[in-house]
Amino acid sequence: MARIGVQASTIKTSFAENGTFETLRRMAEIGYRVIEMSQVAMTPENVAEMKRAQDELGVSVVALSAGLTPPPGGGDSLSTTYDKIVADCRTLGTGLLRVGMLPIDAMGHRDSIVDFAKKTEEYAKRLADDGVALYYHNHHVEFARLDGRYMLDVIADLAPTVGLEVDVHWVQRGGLNPVSVLAKYAGRVRLVHLKDYRIGLLPDSARDAIAAGDFAGFMAGFYGVVQFAEVGEGNLEWQPIIEQALASGA
């Protein structure tokens, strides 16, 4: 059965201010008992607090996050702390690990994208031997075309062992229909990110900018009306998205 949970990056300030166990306690108190960890330091102390929340609160940590190389500022990565990542998965009882973003230095360069996909496939095979399934989370940049094909399709073809964590907001922002993308990758989708896509009102600052002759300032406001939204408060059609996500294996 599919479950709706929280992506830890959306409440990362609480982890920093209130601590890991207290944040998970508050999350469980309002009815969410499933979380995907991202942008929270996986220190031994934090991992222990996550395990405590699982044991005492019934919270499930269903997926962890890791890049191929360390993020800016340092942190775990498959190339530097592979054994620790696998150990954390085992401690928390999850068999799902996700790569949250294409490396910055790979964006826009075909050879770098191909290299990223091939290395990700190598890690996916190694992780599979350790009982962990690797997933890749998309943004909008993966819907640029490489020789007439979407970048996401190139990555998916070169990394067939890697599952896809389809983010419906970023699919929409990339100009595609989330339902169609979910259907296309049926069988490779166990994780789906739900966030809405909204067109906001033009801010007064944009009108003030154009009145002052600041065309660049106006255009910043004009393009800035494309916004994230709470689920149900934007323009995405949720019933077909949810139905297809389930049909695709979420």
pLDDT digits (tens, 9 = 90+) for 9-21: 999 999 999 999 9
Question: Which pLDDT band, with edges at 50, 70 and 90, does 140 fall under?
Answer: very high
* Mean of pLDDT values over 190-195: 97
pLDDT at 104: 86
What is d(CA 164, CA 185) in angstroms, rounded to the nearest whole number? 8
What is d(CA 152, CA 142) in angstroms, rounded to the nearest whole number? 5
pLDDT tens-digit readout, 97-109:
999 999 888 887 8
- In angstroms, the Cα distances linking 122 to 76, 117, 203 are 18, 9, 47
What is d(CA 98, CA 191) in angstroms, rounded to the nearest whole number? 9
Contact between 236 and 168 under an 8 Å Cβ cutoff? The reply is yes
pLDDT tens-digit readout, 212-223:
999 999 999 999
pLDDT tens-digit readout, 73-89:
778 999 999 999 999 99
* Mean of pLDDT values over 45-69: 97
Q: One-letter amino acid identity for 95? A: G
* Mean of pLDDT values over 110-122: 95
Q: Which two tokens stand for residue 234?
A: 């934007």
Higher pLDDT, residue 73 or 157: 157
Contact between 197 and 237 under an 8 Å Cβ cutoff? The reply is no
Beta bridge partners of 192: 166
Contact between 191 and 250 under an 8 Å Cβ cutoff? The reply is yes
Angle at 70 between CA 64 and CA 75, to 5 degrees: 60
Could you tell me the pTM of the whole model? 0.95
Contact between 203 and 243 under an 8 Å Cβ cutoff? The reply is no
